[in-house]
Homo-oligomer: A and B are copies of this chain.
Amino acid sequence: MSEPIDFYFDFSSPYGYLASEKIDELAARHGRTVSWRPILLGVVFKHTGAAPLTLVPLKGEYSVRDFSRSARFLGLPYKHPANFPLATQHAARAFYWFHDQDYEQACEPARAFAQAVFRALYVDGRDVSSLDVVLDLAAQQGVDRDILSEALAGAALKQRLKSECDAALAGGVFGSPYMIIDGEPFFGVDRLPQMDRWLTSGGF
């Protein structure tokens, strides 16, 4: 059995959203699964000195244009969020809560939740930095709001996300989306064609 493809992203990353809509299908075509791993770019950027794309002079204006154009290029809907960039720790912690539940297939509800968060933000224009919105989206996946709310307020889930971010940094992750196939790193949704060839040929 081949190793899953690691897929690191921040829910606040438009290119992460675009990759999220393509990566499972790409992996499946090559008999692979995907390990979704939300992180916080704020933590990463402290280490690399980078700033959110849209706050960089000149590059910011270009980026907003490129988000929409890249979405159209990939055949995906995209509406640039009014509140951007936004805090995503509630959504990321909720993801790991889903992930760590004792489901028979623990990854699937977490993945479905992640996709719901991305679409709420980039298609429906909802502010997923809000705890209430995150709880609403989780409830739509059949979760008890109060149980998740309590978990999100606790130290364990905060530590869980912190550990994920630390591990990502230690593994070289510096942005979103960042994918790893059998140790080979790929940064950016525009690397999907290279990933496709890599999976086809076992490297090139």
Contact = CB atoms under 8 A, between A and B. Distances in A.
Interface in A65-96: 65-66, 69-70, 72-73
Interface in A147-184: 169, 172-175
A69 B188 CA distance: 14
B174 A72 contact: no
Nearest to A55: B49
A197 interface: yes
Contacts of A190: 188, 190-191
A174 B56 contact: yes
Interface residues of A, number: 31
A72 B204 contact: yes
Q: Is chain A's binding surface mostly helix, strand, loop or mixed?
A: helix
A187 interface: yes
B172 A58 contact: yes
Contacts of A52: none
A197 B73 contact: yes
A169 B58 CA distance: 8
Given A65-B185, A185-B65, A190-B191, A49 B56 contact: yes
Contacts of A61: 172
A193 to B, nearest CB: 8
Contact of A50 (B56, B62, B194): B56
A170 to B, nearest CB: 10
A59 interface: yes
B62 A204 contact: no
A105 to B, nearest CB: 32
Given A49-B57, A59-B187, 11 more contacts: A47-B57, A47-B58, A49-B51, A50-B56, A57-B174, A58-B172, A62-B172, A62-B187, A69-B194, A69-B204, A73-B204
